[in-house]
A and B are shown apart, each in its own frame.
Chain A
């Protein structure tokens, strides 16, 4: 059993590693969604999908053998509405929770400003939390479905494994294949875009692997997708 200090040290070491890797790679979750939607540019989206594939196999494998620490998490409509607001906010701010910390570390005052107002928004909305009414009421979050409170209880790979007797890894492999399908569709779309941009025989002779690394042209002239250069925030 790890001590509280051990937990905090492990978290700090992990966070520091993430900070270095994200700073060097310029990965951004906001860009993973925004650039795919606005520019059909998938540099960050592909990285997100690869991480999700690895994590799905890793987490469900650990759950299958009774290890890991899955979140005991009450599912509810509040997750949909909350992340809907969050999605709008992260595009407006030009940074998600990860990139706002990483960009703050690089000296970006706009990112620090976004973090400060994230804290303000968090605190102001905490004032309307109640134990007895939505959103989301403490007394309805019991781990069991409570439709009147728009809560569906606790449902994940672990509960699925307990209910069916089938190892969580089996379900993880199905999810992995679904994510792999999306990843391959993106590669296919990138290949089609690259071929559309280079219809000449000379361009067509470029190896497919090289063509995949070429960024597609932005569809909106005044906006550019995030590549290796920093966005304003």
Chain B
């Protein structure tokens, strides 16, 4: 199929995603990833330490009771699945492993900071730009400000590290 032979203009891709997101907003709610990842974290830890131990932690007892019946999980799983199918059909699937220790360290710190940020704010980059802000939520504007300043600080540090 031609679609999988050439790359797609990101403006076209994001415009299509936006139209689909409007339908999702009408059916169930706007596109978000952080909520699904929070639930996946709860399910993951529940599988490791058991439901009784997890229930003793107030957050997982009062705010996010782990359940597979949470629609936001399936957006995340769908993105991974769609990318896998697309990568295979376009012959772009291959194992990529970071080569340098510094990359592993940066990715580890980055992943931890993203997790802490999602937990603290109850929102991720997708729901910030493509959920809350289009809904004109004040939290979206606060989150966009924080994200842009954070990305600027991160870019400054990243540039210094790579140039060192």
Contacts and interface: CB of A to CB of B under 8 A. Distances in A.
Contact of B19 (A54, A118, A220): A54
B88 to A, nearest CB: 9
B53 interface: no
Interface in B103-158: 103-104, 106-140, 142-155, 157-158
A-B residue pairs, 8 tightest by C-beta = A15-B78, A87-B150, A19-B82, A121-B115, A82-B121, A93-B110, A89-B113, A117-B111
Interface residues of B, number: 126
A120 interface: yes
B141 to A, nearest CB: 9
**Which of A11, A101, A104, A130 has the most B CB atoms < 10 Å from its CB?**
A11
**Which of B3, B28, B81, B119 has the most A CB atoms < 10 Å from its CB?**
B119
Interface in A74-128: 74-98, 101-110, 113-127
B160 to A, nearest CB: 11
Nearest to B152: A37
A85 B151 CA distance: 9
A31 B25 CA distance: 26
B16 interface: yes
Contact of B117 (A9, A85, A115, A129): A85
Contact of B14 (A11, A47, A93, A103): A47
A89 B123 contact: no
B121 to A, nearest CB: 3
Interface in A129-170: 129-131, 135-136, 138, 152, 155-158, 160, 168
Given A18-B78, A19-B82, A85-B116, A80 B142 contact: yes
B78 to A, nearest CB: 2
A24 B37 contact: no
A105 to B, nearest CB: 3
B146 A118 contact: no
B147 A84 contact: yes
A108 B96 contact: yes
Contacts of B14: 21, 25, 27, 47-48, 50-51
B63 to A, nearest CB: 7
Nearest to A60: B136
A177 B63 CA distance: 37
Tell me the interface secondary structure of chain B in the complex.
helix
Contacts of B11: 46-47, 50
A135 B121 CA distance: 9
Contacts of A51: 14-15, 17-18, 21, 129-130
Given A16-B82, A89-B113, A175 B136 contact: yes
Contacts of A21: 8, 13-14, 16-17, 82
Contacts of B44: 119, 123
**Which of A85, A109, A130 has the most B CB atoms < 10 Å from its CB?**
A85
Given A82-B146, A94-B107, A71 B29 contact: yes
A23 interface: yes
Nearest to A115: B111
A121 to B, nearest CB: 2
B110 A82 contact: no
Given A12-B78, A129-B58, A50 B18 contact: yes
**Which of B23, B60, B136 has the most A CB atoms < 10 Å from its CB?**
B136
Contacts of B69: 4, 8
Given A113-B104, A122-B41, A91 B125 contact: no
B15 A54 contact: yes
Contacts of B114: 85-86, 89-90, 93, 96-97, 114, 118, 121
